[in-house]
């Protein structure tokens, strides 16, 4: 990575709380992050609206190549989601 | 930041560098010196050179002859009254004090004493892996006897007569299955297992949240089949007669495993983020304690649960409960099987060895809620009935016997990353429990399971209980293991601290390497074993790749023995270095004379060219 050591303090707001994960909006409309609970360090019960902070950098592309393994996985998931929603419509 | 006299003593052999500007004529004391812990970073970034720097032990008390700026390494030309380079006596004695009094060792008798195998992780990020010093007495058993050998030997004569005691036994009767078919009823004929057609409907009807349920039989020629993320791998086993889990006779099927997969109604994978969906043969690390072995038939279920419940506690639990209906029918058929079909019998003895070093294994299991849960102590091996989720138990420590672990007392729901997840089958073949149970030089007194809650206050609540539990056991040493990485490392560190502060030598085991580097540390985290197997030191999304294996168990046991006998541990390098592991294993191997074969990692699996490029 070229800029891996460029560490920036980011802040965000917890906007979704699930039993296994939380969704965090990055302040300044910079994106959305959904992470498993075990990656969140908590001193208090988790609530929507709580602010969080962490250090991060910018993601950088590793190479121009496409990893077919992941492409196959993404395609597969899309197909499946489509099938599922078709099935649901049929039922309705 | 200046350092304290205590830190200076601990770092007596590290380079001495001024922490701030110092005037000529002052006498150097600890407060003038910078903490050596930060030197690596400074040297890397070119801010500091340590050429010609004297050690802290040498400069303390010397007089500065020239005014120097901060971060100036202290060399002989700016000092007067430098001490000879020798380890300060104070340090040596301090070390001896820390060493637990060498319990009258019956080790004298044990011929195969492992040499010195230690790994050390410094506070927080610096992971120190410790290397056995082969030079120590050439690694013979003699090296095991620490200072005070005279008393040790004398004590040994008094204690050696203590005999091994078999507390209880567990017999596993294996039946072989070579074919799995569907049929009108669930039964086993010879080596063919039939699963009732239409059992899927029972599974769906039993659980409100389970909307669809499919069973596939995956034979080795179908390994290259697409599968949803693997939620669990379980052996099929049942208790014979009225036997309780962890004793008596267990019947089990060889050649076949239960495999649960699933998504929700919207096609979203059940489980967390790292999921192992894809082609089975590219995503399973064969032969890991928790994974299927190559050649086994999978009874693979795909559960579809109500939309949006994949991240809630009830979703995965419903899928597991529904799946257990299938397993339970097979268990009932297994109970009926004729004794003549037994292909092999294994006997496990829970042996107590009075007089040997008493050790306990503390296994941290996930308990953050949702799928981070485990069913503890079911009636049947890896069953559901009778078990209690550790989240409902408040994640407090639960003491079990080593045989209960090997008899499937944990039904794992945890969906942490697939590479570091301990599947239900992992506990059934837990390598650390097996190795510790069979090691004649130590006395394994039990296994403590402790959950990892989400909130820090609860983490410290349970880890204090671990401290008191271990204190009450009066052990000479302890292992602490955890699975996965993330905030569970906070309580993992706290467990080690709670045990370490009671003066009990402790070895920690976790997946760390590059990606799972510990988020916290404390001064008791000096002996650590990394479970990583992946080439690049990352969560590689391959099922069970980075879980605890025999090679890790052997390193941990050797390290704990070294720690208990008061031997020193080398600090690890600043960056993760996989060579430390191979060097350590080589040294163990040299002492025990047994060759340790390393398990394969993801490089042995079929992979697309690009995937290979990414991970190598």
Q: Is B415 a catalytic residue?
A: yes
Give a yes or no: residue B527 inside a domain.
yes
Is A67 within 8 Å of chain B by CB? Answer: yes
Q: Same domain for B335 and B397? A: no
End position of a domain, from candidates B89, B119, B148? B89
Query: What is the C-alpha separation between B331 and B287, in angstroms, rounded?
Result: 24
State the nearest Cα–Cα gap between A3 and chain B, in angstroms: 15
Within 8 A by CB and 6+ apart from B146, the residues are: B99, B102, B152, B565, B566, B567
pLDDT at B119: 53
Measured between CA atoms, the residue of chain B closest to residue A22 is: B311
Q: Same domain for B374 and B337? A: no
Query: What is the C-alpha separation between B67 and B51, in angstroms, rounded?
Result: 19
User: CB burial class (10 A; 0-12, 13-18, 19+) of residue B316?
Assistant: buried
- The reply to whether ipTM tops 0.95 is no
Measured between CA atoms, the residue of chain B closest to residue A72 is: B278
Q: Same domain for B295 and B406? A: no
Residues B517, B594 contacting (CB under 8 angstroms): no
Q: Same domain for B263 and B234? A: yes
pLDDT in tens, A2-55: 777 788 899 999 999 987 789 999 998 889 999 888 889 999 999 999 999 999
Residues B466, B501 contacting (CB under 8 angstroms): no
Q: Same domain for B581 and B448? A: yes
B488 contacts on A by Cβ (under 8 Å): 38
Is A68 within 8 Å of chain B by CB? Answer: yes
| Residue B411 backbone dihedrals phi, psi, to 5 degrees | -105, 105
Q: Which of A6, A22, A36 to mutate to test the interface with B (most CBs of B within 10 A)?
A: A36
Query: What is the C-alpha separation between B527 and B520, in angstroms, rounded?
Result: 15
Is A88 within 8 Å of chain B by CB? Answer: yes
Q: Is the pLDDT of residue B137 over 70?
A: no
**Torsion angle (degrees, nearest 10) of CA B59, B60, B65, B67:** 100
Q: Is the pLDDT of residue B3 over 90?
A: no
Query: What is the C-alpha separation between B235 and B436, in angstroms, rounded?
Result: 22
| Residue B440 backbone dihedrals phi, psi, to 5 degrees | -75, -5
Q: Which of B4-8, B340-344, B356-360, B391-395 has the lowest mean pLDDT?
A: B4-8
pLDDT in tens, B82-111: 887 644 433 333 333 333 333 333 333 333
Q: Is the pLDDT of residue B135 over 80?
A: no
Closest by Cα among B532, B602, B530, B535 to B287: B602
Residues B553, B435 contacting (CB under 8 angstroms): yes
Which range, B92-106, B205-219, B309-323, B598-612, has the best average confidence (pLDDT)?
B205-219
End position of a domain, from candidates B89, B112, B142? B89
Mean pLDDT across chain B? 83
Higher-pLDDT residue of B564 and B583 is B564
Residues B265, A87 contacting (CB under 8 angstroms): no
Query: What is the C-alpha separation between B373 and B231, in angstroms, rounded?
Result: 12
Instruction: Find the catalytic residue in B19, B415, B512, B549.
Output: B415
Kindly state the tokens that stand for B37.
């812990």
Residues B559, B119 contacting (CB under 8 angstroms): yes
pLDDT at B139: 35
pLDDT at B470: 97
HSE at residue B601, side-chain half, CA atoms within 13 A, is 23
Helix (H) or strand (E) holding B612: helix B609-615
Residues B477, B505 contacting (CB under 8 angstroms): yes
Q: Give how many domains chain B has, as a whole number.
A: 3
- Contact flag A20-B484 (C-beta cutoff 8 Å): no
- Contact flag B311-A69 (C-beta cutoff 8 Å): no
Q: Is the pLDDT of residue B123 over 60?
A: no
- Contact flag A19-B312 (C-beta cutoff 8 Å): yes
Q: Same domain for B296 and B414? A: no
Give a yes or no: residue B134 inside a domain.
no
Residue B14 structural domain: 5-89
Q: Is the pLDDT of residue B81 over 80?
A: yes
B369 contacts on A by Cβ (under 8 Å): 19-20, 37
Q: Same domain for B501 and B367? A: yes
Give a yes or no: residue B100 inside a domain.
no
| Predicted confidence band of residue B130 (pLDDT cuts 50, 70, 90) | low
pLDDT in tens, B568-609: 777 777 778 888 888 888 888 888 888 888 888 887 887 644
Q: Same domain for B532 and B392? A: yes
pLDDT at B266: 83
Average pLDDT in the B277-302 region? Answer: 91
| Predicted confidence band of residue B140 (pLDDT cuts 50, 70, 90) | very low
pLDDT in tens, B148-204: 333 434 444 444 557 899 999 999 999 999 999 999 999 999 999 999 999 999 999
Which range, B114-123, B271-280, B442-451, has the best average confidence (pLDDT)?
B442-451
The span from the first CA to the last CA of chain B, in angstroms, equals: 40
Query: What is the C-alpha separation between B239 and B335, in angstroms, rounded?
Result: 8
pLDDT at B602: 81
Q: Same domain for B272 and B317? A: yes
The three-point CA angle B587-B588-B589 to 5° equals 90
State the nearest Cα–Cα gap between A16 and chain B, in angstroms: 12
Q: Is the pLDDT of residue B45 over 80?
A: no
A54 contacts on B by Cβ (under 8 Å): none
Strand ranges of the sheet holding A51-56, from the earlier edge strand across to the other edge: A32-36, A21-26, A8-17, A51-56
CA–centroid distance for B83 within its chain: 44
- Contact flag B278-A42 (C-beta cutoff 8 Å): no
End position of a domain, from candidates B305, B321, B345? B345
Kindly state the tokens that stand for A26.
């990055």
Question: Which residue is associated with the tokens 């003699």?
Answer: B142
pLDDT at B129: 55
The count of other CB atoms within 10 Å of the CB of residue B583 is 16
Q: Same domain for B426 and B496? A: yes
Ranges of H-type helices in B310-412: 314-336, 402-406
Q: Same domain for B174 and B230? A: yes
Query: What is the C-alpha separation between B423 and B230, in angstroms, rounded?
Result: 10
With a pLDDT cut of 70, the percent of chain B lying above it is 84
pLDDT in tens, A55-74: 988 888 888 999 887 887 78
Q: Among 2.40.70.10, 2.40.50.140, 3.30.565.10, 1.10.8.50, name the CATH number for the domain at A8-91.
A: 2.40.50.140
- Contact flag B226-A76 (C-beta cutoff 8 Å): yes
State the nearest Cα–Cα gap between B279 and chain A, in angstroms: 9
- Contact flag A37-B369 (C-beta cutoff 8 Å): yes
**Torsion angle (degrees, nearest 10) of CA B519, B520, B524, B528:** 0
Pick from B272, B273, B610: which is nearest to A65 by CB?
Answer: B610
Q: Same domain for B261 and B231? A: yes
- Contact flag B277-A20 (C-beta cutoff 8 Å): no
């Amino acid at each position: 990575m070229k800029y891996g050591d460029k560490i920036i303090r980011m802040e965000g707001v917890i906007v979704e709380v699930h039993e296994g994960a939380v969704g965090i909006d990055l302040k300044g409309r910079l994106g959305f992050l959904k992470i498993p609970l075990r990656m969140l360090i908590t001193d208090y019960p988790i609530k929507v609206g709580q602010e969080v902070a962490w250090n991060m950098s910018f993601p950088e592309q590793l190479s121009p190549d496409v990893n077919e393994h992941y492409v196959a996985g993404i395609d597969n998931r899309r197909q499946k989601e489509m099938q599922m929603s078709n099935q649901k419509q049929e039922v309705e | 930041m200046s350092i304290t006299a205590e830190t200076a003593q601990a770092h007596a052999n590290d380079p001495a560098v001024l922490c701030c500007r110092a005037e000529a004529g002052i006498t150097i004391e600890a407060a003038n010196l910078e903490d050596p812990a930060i030197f690596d970073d400074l040297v890397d970034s070119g801010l500091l050179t340590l050429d010609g720097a004297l050690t802290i032990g040498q400069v303390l008390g010397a007089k500065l002859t020239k005014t120097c700026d901060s971060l100036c390494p202290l060399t002989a030309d700016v000092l007067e009254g430098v001490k000879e380079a020798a380890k300060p006596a104070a340090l040596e004695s301090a070390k001896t004090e820390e060493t637990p009094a060498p319990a009258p060792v019956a080790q004298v008798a044990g011929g195969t004493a492992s040499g010195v195998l230690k790994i050390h992780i410094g506070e927080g990020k610096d992971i120190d892996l410790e290397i056995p010093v082969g030079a120590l007495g050439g690694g013979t058993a003699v090296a095991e006897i620490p200072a005070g050998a005279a008393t040790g030997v004398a004590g040994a004569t008094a204690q050696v007569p203590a005999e091994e005691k078999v507390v209880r036994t567990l017999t596993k009767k294996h039946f072989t299955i070579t074919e799995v078919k569907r049929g009108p009823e669930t039964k086993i004929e010879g080596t063919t297992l039939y699963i009732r057609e239409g059992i899927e409907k029972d599974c769906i009807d039993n659980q409100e949240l389970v909307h669809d349920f499919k069973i596939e039989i995956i034979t080795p020629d179908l390994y290259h089949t697409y599968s949803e993320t693997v939620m669990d791998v379980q052996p099929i086993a049942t208790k014979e007669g009225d036997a309780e889990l962890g004793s008596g006779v267990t019947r089990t099927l060889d050649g076949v495993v239960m495999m649960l997969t699933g998504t929700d109604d919207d096609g979203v994978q059940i489980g967390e983020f790292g999921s192992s969906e894809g082609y089975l043969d590219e995503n399973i690390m064969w032969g890991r304690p928790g994974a299927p072995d190559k050649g086994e038939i999978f009874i693979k279920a795909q559960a579809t649960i109500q939309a949006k419940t994949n991240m809630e506690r009830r979703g995965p639990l419903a899928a597991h409960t529904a799946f257990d209906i299938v397993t339970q029918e097979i268990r009932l058929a297994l109970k009926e099987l004729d004794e003549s079909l037994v292909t092999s019998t294994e006997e496990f003895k829970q042996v107590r060895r009075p007089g040997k070093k008493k050790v306990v294994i503390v296994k941290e299991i996930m308990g953050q809620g949702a799928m981070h849960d485990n069913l503890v102590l079911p009636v049947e091996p890896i069953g559901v009935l009778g078990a209690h989720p550790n989240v409902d138990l408040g994640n407090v420590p639960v003491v079990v016997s080593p045989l209960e672990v090997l008899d499937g007392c944990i039904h794992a729901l945890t969906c942490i990353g697939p590479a570091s997840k301990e599947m239900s089958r992992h506990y059934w073949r837990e390598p650390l429990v097996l190795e510790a149970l069979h090691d004649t030089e130590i006395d394994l007194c039990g296994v403590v399971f402790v959950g990892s809650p989400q909130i820090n206050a609860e983490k410290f609540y349970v880890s204090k209980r671990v401290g008191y539990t271990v204190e009450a056991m009066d052990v000479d040493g302890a292992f602490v293991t955890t699975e996965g990485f993330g905030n569970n490392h906070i309580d993992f560190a706290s467990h080690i601290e709670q045990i370490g502060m009671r003066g009990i030598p402790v070895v920690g085991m976790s997946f760390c390497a590059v990606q799972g580097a510990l988020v916290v540390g404390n001064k008791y985290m000096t002996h650590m074993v990394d479970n990583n197997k992946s080439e690049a030191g990352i969560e590689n999304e391959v099922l069970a790749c980075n879980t605890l294996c025999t090679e890790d168990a052997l390193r941990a046991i050797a390290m704990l023995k070294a720690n208990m006998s008061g031997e020193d541990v080398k600090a690890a390098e600043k960056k993760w270095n996989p060579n430390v592991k191979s060097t350590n294993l080589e040294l163990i191997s040299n002492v025990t004379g047994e060759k340790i074969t390393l398990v394969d990692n993801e490089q042995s699996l079929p992979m697309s060219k690009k995937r290979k490029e990414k991970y190598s």
